[in-house]
Amino acid sequence: SYKPLQVFERHCFYNKGLDSPHLGERMATSWGAAFFMLVTSCVCSTIFHRDQQTWFEGVFLSSMCPINVSTSTLYGIMFDAGSTGTRIHVYTFVQKIAGQLPVLEGEIFDSVKPGLSAFVDQPKQGAETVQELLEVAKDSIPRSHWKRTPVVLKATAGLRLLPEQKAQALLFEVKEIFKKSPFLVPDDSVSIMDGSYEGILAWITVNFLTGQLHGHSQETVGTLDLGGASTQITFLPQFQKTLEQTPRGYLTSFEMFNRTYKLYTYSYLGFGLKAARLATLGALETEGTEGHTFRSACLPRWLEAEWIFGGVKYQYGGIQEGEVGFEPCYAEVLRVVRGKLHQPDEIQRSSFYAFSYYYDRAVDTHMIDYEKGGILKVEDFERKAKEVCDNLENFTSGSPFLCMDLSYITALLKDGFGFADSTVLQLTKKVNNIETGWALGATFHLLQSLGISH
């Protein structure tokens, strides 16, 4: 049976000694993080969602008994189980002044590929990858704090796409691994998170860490997240027309410091980068595809290869006859997104932060720096897609899907969401040295719900 090759990646961030030459920057970052946590805790206590449910219901813990922690250092472990990999975030918080909220002191991040969904028929092997990442937490957290440090795993689109029974089998094995660990394991510590929560938490994280929500400014940035199996868009509408013309399921309201924010947010399952590859190849219906080769004008003619996604092996390659290049490729990916996504007019005049595969593909094609990120316009993705796709025979890349991926990103932004060519995108991997995404906000609320951070 197939056992996926595991690939690891690690980085860490810590605020160290007071003699650091970056003390001023660090203090600003810590203040910003503390402010972010304070408001996030206020947000989580007052947010409401459609159907009169709190939007974080089922995401965060709600019924755990408070735990008294006598030391000033707190830890939280958050697993992000995505479609292409599993990530662990180990956060360190310090309660510098009694009675005040703790300050984010550091983050250790590690990851393993592929994701849990690749082990769809081998749940125990999938859980072993989580066990390996747990060793990172044991190495990072003092033994004296293990029993009071909560560990939580939230699975995203990769497991949402699996049959319910198979997804639950994977989660059961992960829970068994957690139970054997020395950490605090709440009853609801392993679950599948609704995609809309990813978008909301990412928007809050980015706008707080960039200072956009400090004070009374309404100048916020939108967020675009492109995963392997799903994609999210979130922004704060500025015009009443947007609110009136947007379908009800796309709006979520919450209140912070006597201010009400009504976010436009939606998660499109099946529109992540790798799911879009399958859709482009026409391989979403996998039954009876064994021995069949899926072909595309987005691939070099000479290519004959196999690709594994979600635990399924696909044969694919270039077309033998007909045109290849950007135009025929774009026509293929356009069928995946045309008419499938809601298009709010307002986003054409807004600025957005984009991360995950938007960032990765921009790095792969040298449009931005890996460490620093960069600023691009939507039209830059189309320009690069044309450059890559129209030179397929000469292009030597580590990914034969690069033409398809860039074309899909272009079609998703322009024809899917309806962005203008001139829309500005801030491509970022980290904000103030903290990974973008939902994990930080989820971890802080986890500590709050357990009574650990009071």
Give residue-wise pLDDT tens across range 172-209.
999 999 999 999 998 889 999 887 788 887 887 788 77
What is the CATH number for 247? 3.30.420.150
Same domain assignment for residues 160 and 138: yes
Position 100 in a domain: yes
Position 260 in a domain: yes
Position 4 in a domain: no
Q: Taking 60 as the threshold, does the pLDDT of residue 454 lie above it?
A: no
Q: Annotated binding residues for ATP, as ranges?
A: 228-232
Same domain assignment for residues 263 and 396: yes
Residue 410 is predicted with a pLDDT of 98
What number is the average pLDDT over the span 292-306? Answer: 91
- List the domain range (segments joined by +) for residue 254: 197-272+332-435
* Chain segment 4-51, per-residue pLDDT in tens: 444 444 555 544 332 333 333 333 444 444 444 444 443 333 333 333
pTM (2 d.p.): 0.74
Same domain assignment for residues 95 and 227: no
Choose between 227 and 52: higher pLDDT.
Answer: 227
What number is the average pLDDT over the span 63-83? Answer: 68
Same domain assignment for residues 243 and 207: yes
Same domain assignment for residues 86 and 180: yes
| Window from 112-116, 117-121, 439-443 with minimum mean pLDDT | 439-443
Q: Annotated binding residues, as ranges?
A: 228-232
Same domain assignment for residues 213 and 187: no
Q: Taking 80 as the threshold, does the pLDDT of residue 301 lie above it?
A: yes
What 3 state SS string does the chain have?
CCCCCCEEEEEEEECCCCCCCCHHHHHHHHHHHHHHHHHHHHHHHHCCEHHHECCCCCCCCCCCCCCCCCCCEEEEEEEEECCCCEEEEEEEEECCCCCCCCEEEEEEEEEEECCHHHHCCCHHHHHHHHHHHHHHHHHHCCHHHHHHCEEEEEECHHHHCCCHHHHHHHHHHHHHHHHHCCCECCCCCEEECCHHHHHHHHHHHHHHHCCCCCCCCCCCCEEEEECCCEEEEEECCCCHHHHHHCCHHHEEEEEECCEEEEEEEEEEECCCHHHHHHHHHCCCCCCCCCCCEEEECCCCCCCEEEEEECCEEEEEEECCCCCCCHHHHHHHHHHHHCCCCCCCHHHHHCCEEEEEHHHHHHHHCCCCECCCEEEEEHHHHHHHHHHHHCCCCCCCCCCCCHHHHHHHHHHHHHHHHCCCCCCEEEECCEECCEECCCHHHHHHHHHHHCCCCC
Q: Taking 50 as the threshold, does the pLDDT of residue 406 lie above it?
A: yes
Q: Band of the pLDDT at 308, cuts 50, 70, 90?
A: confident
Catalytic hit among 198, 332, 346, 382: 198
Position 379 in a domain: yes
Same domain assignment for residues 173 and 208: no
- Is 198 assigned a catalytic role? yes
